[in-house]
Amino acid sequence: MTEREKQLAAQAAAEAVTSGMVVGLGSGSTVAYLLPALAARRLEVTCVSTSPATADAATRLGLTVVPFTGAGAPERLDVAIDGADQVDPAGWLVKGGGGAHTREKIVAAAADRFIVIVSSNKLVARIAPPIPLELSPFGLAATLRRLQPVALRDAPESPDHGVIADYLGLVPDPGSVATRLSAAAGVVEHGLFEPGMVSEVVLGRGENVERFAPPSTALATEGTAMPDSPSTAARSADEIVTKLSPRSVADTVARLEAVVAEKGVKLFAEIDHSGEARTVGLELPETKVVIFGSPQAGTPVMQAAPLAALDLPLKVLVWADGEQTKVSYTSPAALGARYGLSDELAARLAAVDAVTDAAVAA
């Protein structure tokens, strides 16, 4: 399942790339799924890579890869996409399991947007060791003594000939540890990436794709905030759940409405955005919204939180994304967090999970 989650996250992130962009390609097993997804879109893009292995793989797939060394290299990137070893609720990342974190950080810093793609097992409640390090071979013994506890990694040198090691101390505050490591003579770079670098985390969870932004980014852009941990029930007030349907948009809508009827839930409306667009001479991929709910379930929610009426009845978006049909909605936990609902009241909205599961079932 982890590999499938990586693939889904990578495919979703590839959709953020458009022709004409300069794209930073990361390293590692998740990026291995990004490359074919990006190549399949046949866009006119220029790429830079954080590792020779990624550059070779991208070139074999037909992507244009240019050097990122020297004064003639691209001075800014439109987007960088890479994986991570750990992602905490504040948006701190640990990267560098493959020893390329120095280049990965340089590429991320050069990008207007840095998108992180991960499987659900990469979400952690707290950053923990090991923290990858790239060290200068000059004065290595003295550097190791100053950084204790630290261990050399049995791994090849970095792409820029640095020594790869791991800091093994506790990380009670990632910011303080990052400051200490950055200030240490002999440390070329460490694998802690601060939340301010991250534009978005694209997460594969089961067969679904979720998107989050670190709190600092979310406040600045009104985006979706990071989940607190892998097991946190109440997430950001704007969390969107997306599921893939094996059917066409029309058939998925029909199945969704049939399930709503089977469960005795009231169907309030079906809105055909793409159809309305055609009436004014505009084109929009198939996009329909199904609105349904139960006064018995929703009224107590609105009694407790009148503003919840803005999100009720429940709304499910069924839309065409290329050749895929997707079903998206705001999760009940997110609605609960948005309006400060008790767990009991938030549970009244959980019908949307079961209804959409049934609608996309094979």
The answer to which of 10-24, 89-103, 192-206, 222-236 has the lowest mean pLDDT is 222-236
Domain 1-232 classification at class level? alpha beta
Choose which CATH entry (3.30.70.260, 3.30.2020.30, 3.30.310.70, 3.10.180.10) describes domain 240-360: 3.30.310.70
- CB burial of 47-77 (b: ≥16 within 10 Å; e: otherwise) equals bbbbbebbbebbeeeebebeebeeeeebeeb
The catalytic residue among 5, 44, 104, 200 is 104
Position 322 scores a pLDDT of: 83
In one letter, which amino acid is 318? Answer: V
Of the pLDDT bands very low, low, confident and very high (cuts 50, 70, 90), residue 347 is confident
pLDDT of 125:
87
Task: Tell me what the mean pLDDT of segment 245-263 comes to.
Answer: 95
The answer to whether residue 218 scores a pLDDT higher than 70 is no
Q: Domain-by-domain residue ranges, the chain?
A: 1-232, 240-360
Better-predicted residue by pLDDT, 114 or 351: 114
Spell out the residues 6+ positions from residue 194 whose beta carbon is closer than 8 angstroms to its own: 91, 92, 174, 175, 178
**pLDDT, tens digit, for every residue of 41-98?**
999 999 999 999 999 999 999 999 999 999 999 999 999 999 999 999 889 999 998 8
Residues 207-229: what's their mean pLDDT?
64
Q: Is 222 a catalytic residue?
A: no
Please report, for residues 222, 233, 264, 286, 302, the alpha-carbon distance to residue 340 in angstroms, rounded to integers and kept in the order given.
18, 13, 27, 34, 11
What are the pLDDT digits (tens) for 117-149?
A: 999 999 998 899 999 999 999 999 999 999 999
Least Cα distance to 346 among 310, 303, 298 occurs for 298
pLDDT tens for 3-30 read 999 999 999 999 999 999 999 999 999 9
- The answer, as to whether pTM is greater than 0.75, is no
SS3 191: coil
Percent of the chain, pLDDT > 90?
Answer: 76
